[in-house]
Amino acid sequence: MTRDTLSKHAFMWPAFLIVLIVTLFPLIYALTVSFQTVRIVPPMPPEYVGLRNYAEILESGRFWNAIGVTATIVFISVMFQYVIGYALALTLHHNVPGASLYRVAFLLPMFMAPVCVALIARMLFHPVLGPVNEFFTLFGLANIPFLTNPTLAISVLIVIEIWQWTPFVVLLMLAGLQGLPNEVFEAARVDNISTWRRFRDITFPMLLPLSIAVIFIRLIEGFKVIDTIFVLTGGGPGTSTETLTLFAYNEGFKKFNIGMASALSFLFLIVVILFGTVYLAAAQRLTRRYQ
Amino acid sequence: MKKLFLTAALLSSASMAHATCAPDYSGVTLTISTQNGPFIASPLQTAAESWEAKTCGKVDLVEFPFSELYPKFLTAMSQKTGDFDVIGFIPAWLPDFSTFLSSMPTEMQSGPAWEDIHPVYRERLMSWGGEVKSATMDGDMHMLNYRADLFEDADNMAAFKEKYGYDLAAPVTWDQYYDIAEFFTASDAVDYGTAEAYRRGGQQFWYFFSHAASYTNHPDQPGSMFFDPETMDAQINNAGWLKALEDYKRGLDFNPPGALNNGSGDVRPLYAGGSLAMNIDWADSGVMGATEGTIKGNVRTAVLPGSNKIWNSKTNQWDMFDDVVASPFLAFGGWQLAVPADSKNSEAAWSFVQEVTSPEVSGQAIVTGNTGVNPYRFSHYENLENWSSIFTPEEAASYLGAQRASLDAPNVALDLRLPGFFSYTEILEIELSKALSGQVEPQVALDAIAAEWDKLTDDFGRENQLAAYRASMGLPALN
């Protein structure tokens, strides 16, 4: 081994080992635990059970319900976030009067802690005292059970997700719009191309890679939603607003069923990886169509 | 000589300084943790100030939301992090926590202050596995609160008698309770008949248990309310529990709109604010009504309604009784303090617990608004003068009388205390909220709970759970 190779190894191995310890060890440990029954409450000695934890979860209606709830919240809210966020970014990009004020105002929700957002929402959607109730009372619809009716509770959660995270889409899409070359748009204007066609044939394709990235980030983040739901509905009524992360939290930190919680976390990881792979493959095909 | 005097003077002043610290915990900082204030946290803060003045120690009070306490405490204690010197928690968690807690020093388990604690707390709720592991700092049970101005109003009394055929008074059966709730909901005298907590995570299941105790806590079969004390089979889907769930759900008609989202914290101000004729709550509603609300002077408290039919889980039929059997439910059982075994300041920590629970300090806490501390000592019930700062004599007599009568009731129902408490109550809350919101029929919900409870019991070890359940219900071990 030459002196050069030796010094390369000396620099590389410590970093490699740190990464290994910090990232891979917890994953491997959690994977091992997922094949065992490990309970802190009541304390029980660990026992190897193979795939039983996984089988139990896959057979449980609660798991599939959590997948459904998570998917509903994530897909609907991200779709609206993207459409509204893109529209707002386009508006702000065209320097409407007071654009700088709007720019700050639109971004504010994103800076709030989700727990605070949930607490505010709880007051807003209070079935007796909340202003939303006051509004609907004007139309003869008093005391709507926003948080205790399964469909309405999910709708409220979707609205909150949209309200809080649309600014993220606005921020990134606006940055993307401001980075587009001006000459292309000026040429289009000279050729008298309509605004809609300018958007459809120039802006949208040029921002497609950014759009794909923004949606991907929001989808992955959306899958992890827990704090808002924890505070607002606690997953109820029943389990009708219980997401995968809340289910895993309850198993791990309420029931201290560590084996089951680990298995659940890995299944969650598999779901996200599968979804991510499908999404990126579809996005690649879409991008190719516009190339 | 001058140096000698100076040294003597310094030594003497130093010893004087220490003499003011009794016992001397200078340099000791205790980390005390409980739920977010003001309830329970504020009396701990008050006691911390007096303890610091006496002992020269320091107290650091750390507060968490109620829903976070169990995981926080359990994680810290099971991992032996030594994060907390004293924890404030509820008796239902004692079975899960007991392995990680130190026992109360024997010198604290005797003397007038010890004998002053009501035996239900001292002998039942503070012990686990034959050892005293915690100290009650708040006595709790569910009671019925009502308003004297409405119940004693001549027009209301006449109208009620005309409609229902008996006198308007504090209900002694659940049927009477619903009659009264219906009457006041329909009347213009007040907005709604009653209020109870129905929200998942809003202490909902204790309200359900309060109804169920009347139909399932059979006086001839002690400990048979939640599980069969011989086999540990879940009893929650029997006819008594079904009747309780149907009753509990029926109450929604007489609660304010949106009651499904009300926790116990919402039920209290509704009563104190004058919107209700009655409510069911811990003793806090009474204090709030007398001190902060619009019903001052009219706060009245009664033992929870009972029933003259109770389900016999042995014969699988209803047993009828000549008189109404009151089965007041010791919901929650009050807040307790304990010292984790990994505390590095165990002695000072128990000294702090002694300070909080002393007759003097606790006697002040029970009559201070928003402390969340309710009576648990004989001296608390007997010293009526102490209550004159917040209650009228009639209010005090009714408030204290109802609590004492609940504790002394021959068929008092004890709360569920079992290892894996959260696993049992989680499925209960889920199915309960499904039944209340109409997603499933009550019997379907109860069957689902029973099936899951039986599965949990098997997972945790039926024999161990049976032994723990019998101990928590005050039954001897099976041979």
d(CA B261, CA B433): 10
Whether the CB of A155 is below 8 Å from some CB of chain B: the reply is no
Residue B9 lies in a domain: no
Residue B429 lies in a domain: yes
Residue B90 lies in a domain: yes
Angle made by CA atoms B301, B437, B269, in degrees to the nearest 5: 30
Nearest to A149 by CA among A245, A246, A238: A238
Residue B212 lies in a domain: yes
Whether residue A286 is predicted with pLDDT greater than 60 in this model: the reply is yes
d(CA B11, CA B391): 51
B219 & B344 share domain: no
Closest CB to A254: pick one of B71, B200, B434.
B71
B162 & B117 share domain: no
Which ranges constitute the DSSP H helices of chain A? 3-19, 25-33, 52-59, 61-93, 99-111, 114-124, 131-137, 150-178, 182-190, 195-198, 204-223, 227-232, 244-249, 258-290
Could you give the ipTM of this predicted complex? 0.75
* Cα→Cα distances B150→A201, A282, B155, B204, B390, Å: 73, 68, 9, 27, 21
Backbone angles phi, psi at B330, to 5 degrees: -80, 65
CB B459 within 8 A of CB B451: no
B180 & B290 share domain: yes
Q: Checking DSSP bridges between strand B143-147 and strand B131-132, what pairing results, if any?
A: unpaired
Q: Tell me the CATH number for domain A35-290.
A: 1.10.3720.10
B82 & B159 share domain: no
**Looking at residue B82, which CATH number applies to its domain?**
3.40.190.10
Number of helices (H) and strands (E), helices first, in chain B? 20, 12
Rounded to whole angstroms, the maximal C-alpha distance in chain A is 85
Contacts of B467 in chain A (CB under 8 A): none
Rg of chain A (C-alpha set): 24
Nearest to B239 by CA among B327, B173, B305, B317: B317
Rg of chain B (C-alpha set): 24
Query: Would you call A237 and B434 a contact, using CB atoms and an 8 Å cutoff?
Result: yes
CB B102 within 8 A of CB B131: no
pLDDT at B383: 86
Whether residue A86 is predicted with pLDDT greater than 80 in this model: the reply is yes
Nearest to A165 by CA among A103, A214, A211, A94: A214
Average the pLDDT over A208-231 and give the result: 94
pLDDT at B368: 86
- Contacting residues for B372 by C-beta, under 8 A, at least 6 apart: B38, B39, B40, B42, B43, B138, B284, B335
B163 & B236 share domain: yes
B171 & B263 share domain: yes
pLDDT tens-digit map of A31-67: 999 999 888 777 778 899 999 999 999 999 999 999 9
Structural domain containing residue B288 = 140-333+401-479
Shortest distance, CA A250 to any CA of chain B (angstroms) = 9
Residue B321 CA, distance from chain mean position: 28
B366 & B441 share domain: no
Backbone angles phi, psi at B385, to 5 degrees: -60, -35
What domain count does chain B have? 2
Contacts of A239 in chain B (CB under 8 A): 430
Size of the A and B interface in Cβ pairs below 8 Å: 84
Min mean pLDDT across A79-83, A92-96, B166-170 is at A92-96
B167 & B38 share domain: no
B31 & B147 share domain: no
B367 & B468 share domain: no
Residue B277 lies in a domain: yes
pLDDT at A3: 75
Nearest to B171 by CA among B158, B187, B188, B184: B184
Contacts of B76 in chain A (CB under 8 A): none
B306 & B351 share domain: no
Whether residue A267 is predicted with pLDDT greater than 90 in this model: the reply is yes
Whether the CB of A60 is below 8 Å from some CB of chain B: the reply is no
| Mutation target among A148, A240, A246 for the B interface, most CBs of B within 10 A | A148
d(CA B277, CA B405): 22
pTM of the model: 0.83
Whether the CB of A142 is below 8 Å from some CB of chain B: the reply is yes
B314 & B439 share domain: yes
- Tens digits of pLDDT across chain B (479 residues): 455 555 555 445 444 445 588 899 999 999 999 999 888 999 999 999 999 999 999 999 999 988 789 889 998 998 899 999 999 999 999 998 999 999 999 999 999 999 999 999 999 899 998 899 999 999 989 999 999 999 999 999 999 999 999 999 999 999 999 999 999 999 999 999 999 999 887 789 999 999 999 999 999 999 999 999 999 999 999 999 999 999 999 999 999 988 988 888 889 999 999 999 999 999 889 989 998 889 999 999 999 999 999 999 999 999 999 999 999 999 989 999 999 999 999 999 999 999 999 999 999 999 887 888 999 999 999 888 888 989 999 999 999 999 999 999 999 999 999 999 989 999 999 999 999 999 999 999 999 999 999 999 999 999 999 999 998 998 988 87
Q: Name the 3-class secondary structure at B196.
A: coil
| A150-178 and A204-223 helices, crossing angle to 10° | 140
Residues of B with CB under 8 A from a CB of A: 70-71, 74-75, 78, 95-96, 99, 199-201, 256-258, 260-261, 419-420, 422-423, 426, 429-431, 433-434, 436-437, 439-440, 460-461, 464
Whether residue A172 is predicted with pLDDT greater than 90 in this model: the reply is yes
Residue B146 lies in a domain: yes
Query: Would you call B261 and A44 a contact, using CB atoms and an 8 Å cutoff?
Result: no
